[in-house]
Amino acid sequence: MFSTDPTLDVLLKGLLLTTMGMFWVVLLVRINGLRSFSKMTNFDFVMTVAVGSLLASASQTNNWSSFLQAVVAMAALFLVQSVTAWLRRRSEKIEAIMQNTPVILMRNGEVIESALAETRVARSDLLAKLREANVLDMQQVRAVVLETTGDISVLHGDHCAKEMLEGTK
């Protein structure tokens, strides 16, 4: 592709295609905005993994058409993300179809065993998240929420405003 020497060709290909792919991703992020690689929804997470996979593919191609296919696929992913975000903002039905509901795993110091079972979260994982959040007393925990992204939020302190648990089940 770049040189008759196989070793030099591999090095040049790897360096050039990876650099071009990275610049393409940066350009797409600049066009699409800061939310491009956020982890606000499960769709965003899939988007991040898919772009990473396509970038790896683009970096390892053996011909220009395969490279072009990978960069076009990246652009398509950014376009789909942008369109779905626009649709979600404008339609509650589409939002409900695309987005899971956050689940409360613990409330006011009490673990909700049925929620742990429903979400397949182990009690040991819950305790690890409480330690990670520097919880010293279970009674200080106002709520633990399994977010739509798979992250676990720990709300602790003296009071928890109702708005913080809005939209959870």
Condensed to tens digits (0 to 9), the pLDDT of residues 65-87 reads 999 999 999 999 999 999 988 99
Say if residue 19 is in the same domain as residue 70: yes
Which residues share a beta bridge with 51? none
Which residues share a beta bridge with 154? 144
Q: pLDDT value at position 1?
A: 65
Query: Is 161 a domain residue?
Result: yes
* Spans of the chain below 70 pLDDT: 1-3
Q: pLDDT value at position 108?
A: 93
Say if residue 130 is in the same domain as residue 93: no
Q: Which residues span the domain enclosing 92?
A: 6-97
The token pair that represents 42 in the structure block: 């499960």
Say if residue 73 is in the same domain as residue 131: no
Helix then strand then coil, in percent of the chain rounded to 5, is 65, 10, 25
Tell which residue, 40, 26, 35, 39, has the closest CA to residue 75: 26
Residue where one domain finishes, among candidates 42, 75, 97: 97
Q: pLDDT value at position 2?
A: 65
Q: pLDDT value at position 41?
A: 76
**Would the pTM of this model clear 0.95, i.e. be above it?**
no
| CB neighbour class for 48 (10 Å; exposed up to 12, middle 13-18, buried from 19) | middle
CA angle 100, 102, 105 (to 5 degrees): 135
User: Is 155:142 a contact under the CB 8 Å cutoff?
Assistant: yes
User: Is 150:42 a contact under the CB 8 Å cutoff?
Assistant: yes
